Structure 1
Amino acid sequence: MARLNLLEETRFEKLPVSVYADQDAGSIEIAARIAALIVAKQEKREVAVLGLATGASPVKVYTELVRLHKEEGLSFKNVVTFNLDEYFPMSPTSDQSYVRFMKRHLFDHVDIAEENIHIPDGTIPVEEVHTFCESYEHKISSYGGIDIQLVGIGRTGHIGFNEPGSAPNSGTRLVTLDDLTRRDASRDFGGKENVPVKAITMGVGTIFKAKKILLMAWNEKKAAIVKQAVEGEISADIPATYLQLAAQVEVILDKDAASLLTRFDTPWLAHDVVWTSGMTKKAVVWLSMKLNKAILKLTDEDYNNNGMAQLVTAHGPAYTINIQIFNELQRTITGWPGGKPCVDDSHRPERAEPARKNVILFSPHPDDDVISMGGTFIRLADQGHNVHVAYQTSGNMAVWNDDVIRYLEFVQDFAKAIDDDNGATRNIYEHVRAFFATKRPNQTDPEIIRRIKALIRKGEAIAGARFVGLADENIHFQDLPFYDKSKFHKEVSFEDDIRQTMKLLRDIQPQQVFAAGDFADPHGTHKVCFDIILEAMLRLRKTEEWTKDCWLWLYRGAWHEYPVNEIEMAVPLSPQETKRKRLAIFKHQSQKDLPVFPGDDPREFWVRAEDRTRETAGLYHKLGLADYEAIEAFSRWKFEL
């Protein structure tokens, strides 16, 4: 079992925390504990009572339990389950119901008895909910309570659906969902307006009665709320902090979800550290921001009073450290993202040669290129590099139905205007109107509508890339198969996607590849797209010599930005370039004003992009560097030799 070192100082943590290398390792550990309980109870001829959670967090736990059942004979005949919650109202046959979720991920694949499965009923009349909730509590008690209770944590800090304001002694009840919780669920329901406003949930007090509570959280999207739950003060604003009052709790995280805990984020405050160059840079930037002082103004006293005396003692005095880090940050700034020809490049982020580089910019969705690195995109084209853009997916999920009708009406009217109306467009138009009239929330569009939505986004992407300055032959639409396959199949092979990406890379043989490293994308597409690119490049590096001279740069910006200490190339933008970038984003009209999937940020994408690049420039200025209008930031992927 790959586990991180548990002997590190944890004095800031008010809950016991176990950190695993990744979600797979953590999920396997949780499943192993559940399996051990089931087997121990079987040997005593007793019932194992499990409290189960839904959502993305427990999916791999259930996958491992199914594997243990099928491959190692783990029986669930002595298992009784109680689920944490269910939307209200909610039909058990609905795609979004937790009944369907549990059947799909666990119950349909193991030998548990139907009568041993208990999930809050989302179909009962509202006037009967209180009686049902009391009965649910009594039923849990009749089995002697829950042995192991699994809980995830929402970004509001909710456990179950106990939203901010919940009491620590609350029981099973009907609750109103927080707006952020509903936004997070919007994709499953085809829009926030379709997400139920209420839910039935076990209370915090009900959860507390379990003999063991395991709170699990994975990936960096949960890191901020995990820090508050584990290190923060107990507060009704963060219901998960109530778990600090329970003696039988353990928090199980992967390293990304744990990344903001003090022992990982600012470890010099918790214990002695090895002052590597990366650790030093992170600490000095942190100190400068904390004290609101430019780096070159930091003193020995500042270091000593903020947990960094060891650094000054070993590598000081302060000014020596300050100069070193200031120079490192200064050297990340370049107006030549493709490398400046005919200069000493030993302290520049990119190579000077070749002066004209082959460049591929991979864009997961048809607008990520201009939103996240539009200024750099324009700069690369203006400076004469052979720039290609590859749109990895069609983005056809993120187009409003009204836009489809509007475009079809244009095509129909155009056909009439040139006397070429053969009726085909009319038939498609009527079919689409009829489908939308009866479309259920989150119902998958038929192929013809997906194609129309893809064409809408393709046209916008072409307009944006042309505005940047690309020739049509340098604009590539990969339409990777996984994107549509995942709408219909739970298990998707990415082999075709990888091979297609390998072919494009082989055809262009780039010296520079830009890829989205913004894995906070709430739909997961960015991470999948990056993994495809990485696997394609790793395979090519085994046999093709040109790949040794190919650098992979990661950009962010659509959802969040790199922290300053992680930036390895900072491309400053002038006010005029910022405006050009904005106009390129405006070519994506279907994503303006209100995109279909805005995430939890109410700002339009172009506003987010400008605000984030200005914020990055502002951070550089606060650290004592030049004052730019905006900065786009990149981090270089390091391939193992």
Structure 2
Amino acid sequence: MQTYKEGHDQIKFSQPGAFENTRFEKVHNEIFKNAADASIIIAQEIAYLIMSKQKKNKNCVLGLATGSSPIKVYEELVRMHREDGLSFSNVITFNLDEYYPMSKENNQSYYYFMHEHLFNHIDILPENIHIPDGTVRFDSLNQYCIDYEMTIKNKGGLDFQLLGIGRTGHVGFNEPGSHVNSQTRIITLDHITRLDASSDFNGINNVPKRAITMGVSTILRSKRVVLAAWKQNKAEIIERTIQGLISSEIPATFLQNHTNVTFVLDQSAASELTRFKTPWLVDKCLWTPELKSKAIVWLCEKTKQSILKLTDRDYNNNGMSDLLAQEGSAYDMNISMFNVLQRTITGWPGGKPNTDDSHRPERASPSKKRIILFSPHPDDDVISMGGTLSKLIKQGHDVHVVYQTSGNIAVTDDEALKFAEVSNDFLLDSSQTDFTDVIHFLNNKSENQIDSLAVRKLKGLIRRRESYAAVRYIGLKDKNVHFLDLPFYETGQVKKNPIGQNDIEIIKDIIALIKPHQIFAAGDMTDPHGTHEVCLNAVMTAIKALKPRKFMDNCWLWLYSGAWHDWDINSINMAVPLSPSEVILKRQAILYHQSQKDKVMFQGDDSREFWLRVEERNRKTAVHYNLLGLTEYEAIESFKKVQI
């Protein structure tokens, strides 16, 4: 990775020329392995710009964004200030937007966000900070917005604008329909934008319906624009923005006409771009087994044919002639791919005893395995692999379900109050300590107030008892249920602490205690507030530390999905079919999580209840297998194997 150097107008990113190699893309973009590496590069470009302006005794005018995308950029800038002496004394900032109405003291305000993540930790002059004011009287807003524009102009315009992107394609809060000539103004937020913010506000009803935002033309006048986007849930809108036509329906596409713009993406956010999704349509490919599987499944979808019906002409007409030449014939290639997919299907997710397992996803030996199922929240186990869990228990394995967090943040105040009142009535009848303090707190809880320890404990107990009920229904004994209550989660807020060594040690201890032959962990990275990713990283770190231990030689790691999306067919290593009765069993287990029913607190881009969304996804996977020419099943739960 290159670092910033004097003598350049901007940072030279790590993949020069990538943009020129594809005819589909209309915006310069750079792809990084992860958001952390990419954020450092962005921060370095900003730092160089600040320093170059200091040498000329000039101010540096930055346009700044909020949301999850720029957080690591701000972390690196703070580090540079503390450790490298980077000064912000000549920096003037203008933020893109603010909710309306919104007080500065509200911890969901962008004023609060910017001070928490950046301004409180650097030497910027307070008078040089400009953030739209969410408390301006409505009848004064028009003039306020004009003044905001004039202040930017009077400071010399924006030297650098940092952007994120919403799933509607908004930049700032310029929602679909925004005009290319729009300037700073009040705007009504799109429903999807409010839905995406609902986890921060503990429900969509608490998300403001309006916001003040810089306009599209304000952004386009910036001398330099960098747009950052991370994770899978941004992949579709990134593809439409970079490869689609310019349209007010996707305001970010107006950036195609900017002369100095770079989109900085991680691999997940870039995954829908043609050169990554279907690279054989762009250039010659190195046909790895993984890419070949992906291409053949795609070809079946494109031609609406099963694998064994594909012909030489199908391959030649769809950019895969070099693959056909390499393999010799469609017939041989089809048979090979059919066998690969067929061998992923098993009704014995713990391995089938006393059988030839050379082509099975799991080992036959030992016939009775010790198994850990890590569940980030107290319902991911039954939501994502409830049918497989039931099979593992019925087939006699020593299964342990390990809940990594309490899940208390996902219990509504109303639900907690109901339980507190019931418990209070019971305890008063028994002359025991009452729940008066908890009830009083919930009845008088103010906006943005963090739950008391007692309330958090109550909400955690609600999730805990629901979890016991759900896995008992499937057949698991209480002694095989473990609650880690990892410390990183216990903040009482949607925002969690970074994973710490204490969290890792807790996970290491449970793995070392059980000495598993199989570990199942959540691999779904589209969890809207990131707990899945944090929990998986903690498991992977713990496994790496334990790898020298002898028992780890015979341990396999499987990743499950399903809460927000299922694995692509070509990436599935184990497919566990479910009968109609097993689908009903799984549904009933999910419904034991009553506090999560009817109100999906952190729903991502799907507002349906989890049992509905996961049944559709499991059935869709089964239908996909069937359309490829394999056996028809009611539903399929899918898993990816990860090398330990």
| 1:474 corresponds to which of 477, 480, 484 | 480
- The structural deviation recorded for 1:486 is 7.4
Contact 2:374 2:519 in 1 (8 A): yes
Amino acid at match of 1:224: E
> Distance in 1 between the 2:495 and 2:241 partners?
35
> Distance in 2 between the 1:139 and 1:101 partners?
22
Amino acid at match of 2:438: V
> Distance in 2 between the 1:78 and 1:406 partners?
54
Task: State the aligned residue count.
Answer: 632
- The structural deviation recorded for 1:493 is 4.9
1:158 to 2:170 alignment: yes
- The structural deviation recorded for 1:474 is 0.7
> Distance in 2 between the 1:192 and 1:183 partners?
6
> Distance in 1 between the 2:223 and 2:89 partners?
21
| 2:259 corresponds to which of 247, 250, 253 | 247
Describe the superposition over 1:75-105 as per-residue Cα deviations: whole angstroms up to 9, x where unpaired.
1111111111111111112111111111111
| 1:107 corresponds to which of 119, 142, 145 | 119
1:605 to 2:605 alignment: no
What is the aligned partner in structure 1 of residue 71 from structure 2? Answer: 59
What is the aligned partner in structure 1 of residue 627 from structure 2? Answer: 622
What is the aligned partner in structure 2 of residue 420 from structure 1? Answer: 430
1:594 to 2:606 alignment: no
SS at structure 2 position matched to 1:189: coil
SS at structure 2 position matched to 1:187: coil
1:22 to 2:34 alignment: yes
Describe the superposition over 1:165-221 as per-residue Cα deviations: whole angstroms up to 9, x where unpaired.
111111110000111111111122222111111000000011000111111111222
Amino acid at match of 1:82: F
Amino acid at match of 1:554: L
1:498 to 2:508 alignment: no
Structure 2 length-normalised TM:
0.96
Amino acid at match of 2:461: L
What is the aligned partner in structure 1 of residue 350 from structure 2? Answer: 338
What is the aligned partner in structure 2 of residue 75 from structure 1? Answer: 87
Amino acid at match of 1:12: F
Question: Which moved further from structure 2: 16-25 or 121-130?
Answer: 16-25
Aligned pairs for 1:377-396 (under 5 A) are: 377-396=389-408
Amino acid at match of 2:228: M
Question: Which moved further from structure 2: 484-493 or 180-189?
Answer: 484-493
1:453 to 2:463 alignment: no
Amino acid at match of 1:420: S
| 1:511 corresponds to which of 506, 514, 517 | 517
> Distance in 2 between the 1:260 and 1:164 partners?
21
SS at structure 1 position matched to 2:199: helix
SS at structure 1 position matched to 2:226: strand
| 1:581 corresponds to which of 586, 590, 610 | 586
Cα 1:586/1:359, change in 2 over 3 Å:
same
What is the aligned partner in structure 2 of residue 178 from structure 1? Answer: 190
1:403 to 2:409 alignment: no
> Distance in 2 between the 1:420 and 1:437 partners?
24
SS at structure 1 position matched to 2:408: coil
Amino acid at match of 2:616: D
- The structural deviation recorded for 1:593 is 1.9
Pairwise CA RMSD of aligned residues? 1.5
- The structural deviation recorded for 1:485 is 4.1
Describe the superposition over 1:566-624 as per-residue Cα deviations: whole angstroms up to 9, x where unpaired.
00000000101111111111111111122333333121111111111000001111111
- Which stretches in structure 1 are left out of the alignment for 5+ residues? none
> Distance in 2 between the 1:163 and 1:477 partners?
42
> Distance in 2 between the 1:565 and 1:486 partners?
40
Cα 1:490/1:525, change in 2 over 3 Å:
closer
Cα 1:486/1:449, change in 2 over 3 Å:
closer
Cα 1:580/1:488, change in 2 over 3 Å:
closer
Question: Which moved further from structure 2: 335-344 or 477-486?
Answer: 477-486
Describe the superposition over 1:483-532 as per-residue Cα deviations: whole angstroms up to 9, x where unpaired.
10474997545211211111111111110110000111011111111111
Amino acid at match of 2:566: E
Cα 1:111/1:405, change in 2 over 3 Å:
closer
> Distance in 1 between the 2:608 and 2:497 partners?
34
1:347 to 2:359 alignment: yes
What is the aligned partner in structure 1 of residue 546 from structure 2? Answer: 540
> Distance in 2 between the 1:165 and 1:64 partners?
35
Contact 1:50 1:149 in 2 (8 A): yes
> Distance in 2 between the 1:491 and 1:465 partners?
29
SS at structure 2 position matched to 1:397: helix
Amino acid at match of 1:584: A
Cα 1:230/1:224, change in 2 over 3 Å:
same
Contact 2:490 2:496 in 1 (8 A): no
SS at structure 2 position matched to 1:521: coil
> Distance in 2 between the 1:84 and 1:65 partners?
19
> Distance in 2 between the 1:579 and 1:586 partners?
11
Contact 2:562 2:614 in 1 (8 A): yes
- The structural deviation recorded for 1:249 is 1.3
What is the aligned partner in structure 2 of residue 36 from structure 1? Answer: 48
> Distance in 2 between the 1:497 and 1:393 partners?
10
What is the aligned partner in structure 2 of residue 564 from structure 1? Answer: 569
- The structural deviation recorded for 1:106 is 1.3
> Distance in 2 between the 1:360 and 1:334 partners?
19
> Distance in 1 between the 2:260 and 2:363 partners?
55
| 2:559 corresponds to which of 554, 561, 564 | 554
> Distance in 2 between the 1:601 and 1:441 partners?
26
Structure 1 length-normalised TM:
0.96
Cα 1:375/1:240, change in 2 over 3 Å:
same
